[in-house]
Amino acid sequence: MFKKILIANRGEIAVRVIMACRELGIKTVAVYSEDDEDSPHRRFADDHVLIGAESTDSYLNMPVIISAAESTGVDAIYPGYGFLSETTYFAEVCAARQIGFIGPDLRVARLLGDKAHARTVMGNAGLPILPGSDGLVDDVDSALRVADAIGYPVVIKPAVGAGGRGIQIVRAASELRDAWCQARQEAEAAFANGDLYIEKYLENPRHIEFQVIADHHGHVVHLGERECSIQRGHQKLVEESPSPSLTEEARHRMSSLVVAAARTIGYTNAGTFEFLVDADGRFYYMETNARLQLEHAVTEVVTGVDIVKEQIRIAAGEPLSISQEAVKPTGHAIACRVNAEDPDTFAPSPGQIDVFYVVGGPGVRVDSLACSACTISTRYDSMVAKIIAHGQTRQEAIARMRRTLEMTAVEGIKTLLPLHLAILNDPDFQAGYVNASFMDRFTSKRELRTIPETA
């Protein structure tokens, strides 16, 4: 087992990793930027290293992070999500410096790092895929030919990266040229890579993803699915597990295919296999996130499996501590992402938090970097907290989430707390009728004014 781990990330995920390491008896090193001088992850780690100011000079600065790892004598680096977790080159640098990387093997990371190539790989591994381009599409003329062949609407996607950046929906040939240029510009700006591919666009699908963990000894286990259809701008707002829309037959079929595909490609560590499901229940592979997902908490709550600790054990060469038979999901969990945004306009609302109080209580977990007198910076993600509610039934989980949000106080900045209460009170949400268009009902300012205020 590792003796000391450097966490190449910040905020709530860094604190989450510190918790897991403390339970495993592993020392931790936090890296932090000047903005994060008072961040909880710096405070709770056993050691800490200042690595710069803005994200490009700190959490994205590979040489500085590697230097911090070597100077503090760590055995491994945990990348979290975002920042360097999606950069295969960073894992290669770690390997070259003989520093463990807590994530998938390099071979698998390379295999799935290009999403256009991953479509082909996963199709060959038995997962159904949407009609689309055969690999990357190099120019607008080729894009027009592909779109004509598969039929509009289509979606243009960056081959690398995450977070929905660069994605463009095209409903007619007349729109494609501008959309193509926009997608390329956004991808280059966000990921320093303008490679694009094209898929058939599904109208109003559901977004279902399966959590997988696999070790180096041939064991592959799935931890069930998450319903992630409630999104705005391709950013997830609410997640729950299990999905209220999947039948047991569909759940068994999808999970069996996912485990078989993971085993076929030799997947290791934690990963999320994401699918789109149409109105008739047909499902199509979308992508694999070869890292921990921000929404992992709902899966941990219903299964009792600590995914972060499993990741660390796997990277250290140990076998999984659980078998598929031992995974017995219990009850239902819902997670709400409380972002620092104006609920009327969705404009960012950075600044100092004067009051931060979450009451918690039975069945409630809070993952957060926030505290009273802390500052939400414009330089980083706007999430203030993830609040996860667990109940024996979906109705109990909704009730626990509602009372928690009603008793949560965040003052000094605006947050999405009122929006989440509106979602919870929506009759379609309560009935489990959600898809990718669910948030359309909350996008007009007139409708959002009816959202109840929170304490």
Over residues 125-130, the mean pLDDT reads 96
Tens of pLDDT, residue by residue over 5-35, are 999 999 899 999 999 999 999 999 999 999 8
Residue 444 has what pLDDT?
Answer: 56
Residues 6+ apart with CB under 8 A from 358: 364, 366, 368, 385, 387, 404, 407, 408
- Domains of the chain, start order: 4-102 (3.40.50.20), 131-200 (3.30.1490.20), 206-448 (3.30.470.20)
Adjacent-strand bridge partners of 251: none
Over residues 228-243, the mean pLDDT reads 93
Helix (H/G/I), strand (E/B), else coil: 347: coil
Instruction: Report which of 231, 79, 90, 241 is spatially closest to residue 164, judged by C-alpha positions.
Output: 231
Over residues 148-157, the mean pLDDT reads 95
Q: What is the pTM of this model?
A: 0.91
Residue 115 has what pLDDT?
Answer: 87
The pLDDT-based confidence of 54 (bands split at 50, 70, 90) is confident
Q: H or E stretch including 169?
A: strand 168-170
Of residues 86 and 357, the one with the higher pLDDT is 357
Give the chain's mean pLDDT: 92
Q: How many Å separate Cα 121 from the centre of its chain?
A: 22
Over residues 35-59, the mean pLDDT reads 88
The pLDDT-based confidence of 345 (bands split at 50, 70, 90) is confident
DSSP for 253-279, written as a single string: HHHHHHHHHHHHHT--EEEEEEEEE-T
- For residue 186, give the DSSP letter: H
Over residues 185-196, the mean pLDDT reads 89
Residue 400 has what pLDDT?
Answer: 98
Q: How many Å separate Cα 286 from the centre of its chain?
A: 14
- pLDDT over 50 (residue 431): yes
Strand 100-101, strand 154-158: pairing: unpaired
CB-based burial, 198-225: b 16+ in 10 Å, e otherwise: bbbbbeebbbbbbbbbbbbeebbbbbbb
Residue 381 has what pLDDT?
Answer: 82
Tens of pLDDT, residue by residue over 133-146, are 998 999 999 999 99
User: CB-hemisphere CA count at 13 Å for 11?
Assistant: 24
Instruction: Report which of 384, 401, 381, 371 is spatially closest to residue 339, judged by C-alpha positions.
Output: 384
Residue of 16, 42, 291, 400 marked active site: 291
| Ramachandran angles phi, psi of 236, nearest 5° | -70, 140
**Spatial contact of 76 and 102, defined as CB atoms under 8 Å apart:** yes
Over residues 100-121, the mean pLDDT reads 91
**Spatial contact of 161 and 187, defined as CB atoms under 8 Å apart:** yes
- pLDDT over 50 (residue 340): yes
**Spatial contact of 320 and 109, defined as CB atoms under 8 Å apart:** no
Over residues 152-167, the mean pLDDT reads 88
3-state helix, strand, coil in the chain (%, to 5): 40, 25, 35
Residue 6 has what pLDDT?
Answer: 98
- pLDDT over 90 (residue 92): yes
The pLDDT-based confidence of 164 (bands split at 50, 70, 90) is confident
Output Rg (C-alpha) for the chain, integer angstroms: 21
**Spatial contact of 33 and 83, defined as CB atoms under 8 Å apart:** no
Locate all alpha helices (DSSP H) within 192-283, ordered by sequence: 248-265
**Spatial contact of 418 and 451, defined as CB atoms under 8 Å apart:** yes
The pLDDT-based confidence of 113 (bands split at 50, 70, 90) is confident
| Catalytic status, residue 22 | no
Burial class (CB in 10 A: 0-12, 13-18, 19+), 147: buried
How far is Cα 350 from Cα 237, in angstroms, rounded to an integer?
18
The pLDDT-based confidence of 445 (bands split at 50, 70, 90) is very low
% of the chain with per-residue pLDDT over 70: 97
